[in-house]
Amino acid sequence: MKQSDLEELKIILQETTEVFSSGEVKVSKRIKCFNFGSRGTVGVDEDRARDFRLDLLRVLNNFPQPERQFLAEGRPSQEELEKVLRDKGATLQLIALLLFFGFWTHESVFCSK
């Protein structure tokens, strides 16, 4: 992945997600939370995520091994994402965004009252 794409991806992640430690989750109607067990919880700001959806897809098209589509079987594993992003938090944030958009599936919970 080109450095410029990596930098843009990290900006997208910062603008659309927040990582929470156990028990620290903010309650909001516009935040969808994905619990990754002991690794933490990532909240996705629904409105901001939708604003950045096309940017995210464009960056993902430049991911190493472009034949391994994020939207199909054979998608990169968490370990592969960590190797590219070199950041476990950013990896969870990316997975949460992919889950939010339905590109991946995972049991999730809404953070709302």
Structural domain boundaries of the chain? 3-110
State the pLDDT at residue 7. 93
Q: What is the pLDDT of residues 21-34, one digit of tens each?
A: 766 666 666 888 88
Please tell me the least confidently modeled range out of 20-34, 61-75, 83-97: 61-75
Q: Is the model's pLDDT at 11 over the cut of 90? A: yes
Q: Is the model's pLDDT at 71 over the cut of 70? A: no
Q: What is the pTM of this model?
A: 0.80
Going from the C-alpha of 81 to that of each of 47, 60, 62, 85, 91, the distances in angstroms are 25, 11, 13, 6, 6
- The pLDDT > 70 percentage for the chain reads 73
Instruction: State both tokens at 7.
Output: 């930098």
